[in-house]
Amino acid sequence: MLNKKFKEVIQNLEGNMENKKDLDYAKLQITELSMEYLNQLENLESVYKQKIAVFENRLNDLEVEMQRLDHEIFQDSDDEEMDLEPIKCPYCNTNFFIEFDSTKKEIKCPDCKNIIELDWGNFEDDM
């Protein structure tokens, strides 16, 4: 697309400029400008590729750490197994886990500190 537009601009110059010297000068200037633009794009691409590589490494490190924590918390536990339930705060959208306790009717969000009403429902009907 850029190559097509470049050729179109050059053809417009050739069709509208009578002085050969001015035409050659204008072509040279447009070519140099285009090359500088492309060089800048290549430099930006290189910088962003480097940044993406850094972020991918960080993401991989986080995934390894999450797997380690998961293994440490959920699989190496010698305590009796807890039945954890995921909770999403309706006020601040924070996700967290709590131990299942059907007698508990509300809990405080660890992030925004608002009280969340718990509705455990009757899951015996699902069986």
Q: Indicate the range of 37-51, 77-91, 108-122 predicted with least confidence.
A: 77-91
pLDDT at 79 over 70: no
Q: What is the DSSP string of 22-45?
A: HHHHHHHHHHHHHHHHHHHHHHHH
What pLDDT does residue 77 have? 54
pLDDT at 76 over 60: no
How many angstroms separate the CA atoms of 28 and 67, rounded?
58
Listed by start position, the domains of the chain span 84-119
Average pLDDT over residues 91-99: 90
